[in-house]
Copies of this chain bind each other. A is one copy, B any other.
C-alpha cells in the first residue's frame, strides 16, 4: 500500500473539466452556490461518479458523494440487514460499518479561483478511484464528498453544517443572500429549508473527515515546505462598528469644530493593525468594508460604519483580542469626540484537528518523502462543521504568492499531486484498521 499513488494525469483531466464550469477569461471561476455554473458543475460530478462505477449519494442539503463500501465481507453482510428486518425483531441491530468521509466543495466565491474547494473534491474522487481500481481491502466505507455552499453565498458551510446537525430553522431566516435568493437557490438545486434538516447523519456512522485544501497564504511557499498539516482552524469574531459624529459643511466648519466620524474610523483601522502585529502575533484582523454617511464629498462624515473581523488559533487569545479591539475602538471614538456602537455579528471558537489524524498525515508525508509542517488554518473550512461529529483532519498544499479568492489563485500541479497522495496514504491507513 505504501507504494500506491494516484493517477496525476487522470486527476488533472478531471480538474480541468471541472474548471470549465463558470470559467472566466482571466483563468478563474465564477461559481457561487446554486448559480447556473455551480449546478452544471454538480451535475457533471454526479455523472462522473456514475461513469466511474461508484454509487452516487446525495442528501437533503444537496451534498453529493461517490460512495465505496467497505470491502470486508463480514462488514458488508451487516449492511444487508434492512431496517424493517431490524425493526421487526427478525435480526438484532448489528454494529454499523462506519464511513470515512473526505472531500471539500465545488462552489466558489464570486470571481474566485480554480483551486479553492475544487482541488479537494477532485483529489478525494481520484483517491477513491485509486483505491477501487487497486482493489484495496478496507474496513471502512469511503465517501468522497462535495459539500454545498462552503463559501457562504447563502450560508457559510451550509452542507457540512446540515450533515453535522448544526442547522436549525432560525438560522435560515437571515441568509447572506437574503431570504428570497436563498429560497430560490435551494429550489434550483431541488432542495428546501425542510430538506436541509433531514441531512443530519448519526455520529456513529462517521469514522472521520479528511480534507485537502490550498493554503490560501504564503507560509508553505516561503518556507519551501510540501505539506501543511493543519493543527486547528482559527476561531473568529466579527463586529459591525459605527463611529457616530456630526455632519457639518466641509467648507464652513473649521477643522477644530468637527466631529468627523471618518477620523475615528481611520484611526481605529490603523491602530487595530498595529495592535495585532505588536501584541497578537499569531492573529489577524481585517476591516474589509467601510461606509461614510451621508457620503457626500462636501459634508463631514456624521457616521462611519465598518465591518471588523479577527481570528486566532487559540480560544483564550481570541477572547483577549476581542476585548482589546473593542477597547481600542472606544478609545479612538473618544479621542475624536465620537460615540461608538459595536454590534457583534458572529463568533466561533478555534476548532482543533484530531492528533491521531495529524500523526497519520505526517506518517504519510514520511512515506512519500515530503517535507511537512504544522500550521493553523486562518480560513474556515467544512472540516470544522464536523468537529463534534468525528475526528477531523486537514492538509494544505502551497498557494503561489498566497493568492486566494481571486482568479490568480494557483498551486503547482506537482503540489496538488503530492497532496492527493498524502490523502490516499492517510485514507488507506485510517480505513485499514
Contacts and interface: CB of A to CB of B under 8 A. Distances in A.
A253 B292 contact: no
Interface in A224-258: 234, 236, 238, 247-257
Interface stretch (A4-12, A18-26, A39-47, A259-267): A259-267
Q: For A256, A263, A287, A298, which residue has the most chain B Cβ atoms within 10 angstroms? A: A298
B295 A276 contact: no
A288 B284 contact: no
Contacts of A111: 294
Given A236-B251, A253-B404, A379-B252, A296 B292 contact: no
Given A217-B253, A253-B216, A290-B292, A269 B263 contact: yes
A297 B292 contact: no
A255 B269 contact: no
A44 B263 CA distance: 43
Contacts of A345: 297
A380 interface: yes
Interface string A277-291: 100000011111111
Contacts of A292: 287-290
A429 interface: no
A410 to B, nearest CB: 14
A413 B337 CA distance: 30
A215 interface: yes
- What is the size category of the interface that chain A forms with chain B? 35 or more
A212 to B, nearest CB: 15
A262 B287 contact: yes
A337 to B, nearest CB: 13
A250 B284 contact: yes
Interface in A186-245: 215-219, 234, 236, 238
Contacts of A266: 265-267, 269-270
A297 B288 contact: yes
A299 interface: yes
Contacts of A109: 296
A103 interface: no
Given A248-B402, A263-B270, A284 B218 contact: no
Contact of A248 (B251, B300, B403): B403
Given A251-B311, A251-B377, A253-B402, A288 B298 contact: yes
A345 B298 CA distance: 13
A10 to B, nearest CB: 29
A284 B255 contact: yes
Contacts of A234: 251
A249 B379 contact: yes
A251 B116 CA distance: 14
Interface of A: 109, 111, 215-219, 234, 236, 238, 247-257, 260, 262-263, 265-267, 269-270, 273, 276-277, 284-292, 294-301, 307-309, 311, 345, 377-380, 402-406
Given A217-B253, A250-B378, A299-B405, 13 more contacts: A217-B257, A234-B251, A247-B405, A249-B404, A250-B286, A250-B309, A250-B311, A251-B379, A253-B404, A255-B273, A266-B269, A267-B270, A289-B295
30 contacts: A109-B296, A216-B252, A218-B253, A238-B297, A248-B403, A248-B404, A248-B405, A249-B379, A249-B404, A249-B405, A250-B288, A250-B311, A251-B377, A251-B380, A253-B284, A253-B404, A257-B402, A262-B269, A262-B287, A263-B273, A266-B267, A270-B270, A286-B300, A287-B292, A287-B301, A288-B292, A288-B296, A288-B301, A297-B345, A299-B405
Closest 6 pairs (CB-CB, A-B): A251-B378, A250-B286, A216-B252, A266-B266, A217-B252, A252-B378
